Structures are given as C-alpha cells and as structure tokens.
Amino acid sequence: MDRNMARIVAVRSSAKHSGSASLILTQPVLWAATILTPAAGLAQQAAAPLVIASESLPAPLVHQRYETHLEARGGVPPLHWSTSRGHLPEGLTLDPPSGMISGVPTVTGEFDLTLTVVDSVGDTSSRDYKLKLVAPLLLEWLSFPRIQGDQILGSVKVSNGTKDLFDLTVIVLAVNEHGKAFALGYQHFDLQAETMNVEIPFGSGSNLPVGSYTVHADAVAEVGSKDTIFRSRQQTSLPLDILPPP
C-alpha cells in the first residue's frame, strides 16, 4: 500500500466487549530536518566576530602565585593567544592554546602590553593591557640608619599592596660584632588594605656600647582570614661604628 495513503486498521474486540469492531484512522507523521554540512557549520560559527572578552587583568603580587584565564567570544576554534606588543613581567608566561597567564612574578613595576588571539580561519582580535605589580608587603628605608653620638637613628616605611587588612609587626635591631642585639624600634598595628608608605621612626633611645653595628629591620604581616603571612626585611650592608668618646 502507498505510504502516503491513510491506513485503516480494524481492531476486533475481545470476548469481553460487545463484539463490535472499532476503526482507527491513522495518518503518517511527516518530519522535517535541516542537515548542516561541516562547511555550513563553520560558516555559521564564523558569523560571530572574534572579540577578546577580558577587559582587564587582575593585579599580580610579587613573589605570589598568579593565574588568570583570558576569554574570547566568537571566532572558529581552536584559538591561539600571543603577546603582540611589550612583554609579560618576569616570572609570568602565556599558554598559547588556553590563554592562561600563570607563574610567580619576581619584579615590581608597570607593564604595558598588547595581547592578540587568532582563530582557525585567521581572524584576529587584540586588546591593550596595563599590569601594575606591587609587593604584598614592602619594607624600605625612609631615613637610612645613621650614628648620632652613641645612638643609631632612622626610619622605615611600610606598604600593604593587597586588598586585605594586615596585622603588622615591625622590629628594628642593631646587632654588634659580637652578635648582641639592641632594640631600636618596635611597632604592632593594623595596616589597612592598599595603604602605602607609612613611616615608622626608630632610635636606640639610650646609649649604645662602643662597637660596630649592623641594623636589621623586619616586618611580618598576618592575614587571619586567609591564614597567610607575608614578610619583608632590610639590612645595612656596611657597619655603623660607635666610637669611644674623645
């Protein structure tokens, strides 16, 4: 029988029914499908322009593990990423197939660079980025240690480059040629997030024995919410001599 014709199915009732027959008319169900060839599929994908979606990059912290994934929209996979202008900070690398930037940066500073992505049919997209690298905790000499009579005076400055509150301790010691340490300064306070160049003066406050001294300054910052500790230190390279009175 022609498939396009209606079929009549006679169903005989069982002995439990009245004996009459039922007629069921069925119509064939027509299905329509659109078959895309591989070439048509590629053309459909390529219709969306290739665009880098990552508008900015998270700020890395020096000597801290860093990972960020570049994102793109449109284009025809696979994609290939590269640095087309400038360069990433030392310690960071870009993985071309995945667009992952990772590593442990080792230097501070500002870096201007352009990142480019290319898809499998040669379409490209580029975007300029600025990366500013800061140390999570930075301790520097502000007023370099100096001799004044039989005392050692000076100051340091501390900076918090993170978005976290620091529970900060700063200790400054003068250590003589015999390994004996004398306290020059001690501070313990909260250093707010992204706070730069807070001055901490120090001085012996009393007469130091005659001798040759090296000054050590140490800062320890605790982030209790993350169970993290940062450290930074400074040390004089040349000895400071306290001489006997004339």
pLDDT of 124-177, one tens digit each?
Answer: 999 999 999 999 999 999 999 999 999 999 999 999 999 999 999 999 999 999
Quickly tell me which residue has 């660079």 as its tokens: 113
Query: Which pLDDT does position 46 carry in this prediction?
Result: 46
Of the candidates 70, 90, 74, 91, the residue with the CA atom closest to the CA atom of residue 82: 70
**DSSP labels for 80-139?**
EEEEEES-PPTTEEEETTTTEEEE-----EEEEEEEEEE-TTS-EEEEEEEEEEB-SEEE
Query: Which pLDDT does position 143 carry in this prediction?
Result: 98
Per cent of the chain over pLDDT 70 is 81
C-alpha distances (whole Å) from 47 to each of 134, 191, 222 are 42, 52, 52
Full-model pTM: 0.68
In the chain, the domains with their CATH numbers are: 48-133 (2.60.40.10), 137-242 (2.60.40.10)
Query: Which pLDDT does position 204 carry in this prediction?
Result: 85
Higher pLDDT, 205 or 114: 114
pLDDT of 73-106, one tens digit each?
Answer: 999 999 999 999 999 999 999 999 999 999 999 9
Cβ partners under 8 Å of residue 92, min gap 6: 60, 66, 101, 102, 103, 105
Q: Are 104 and 63 in contact (CB under 8 A)?
A: yes
Of the candidates 95, 201, 224, 97, the residue with the CA atom closest to the CA atom of residue 152: 201
Partners of 52 in beta bridges = 72
How many Cα atoms occupy the beta-carbon half-sphere of 159 within 13 Å?
13
CA–CA separation, 18 and 180 (whole Å): 116
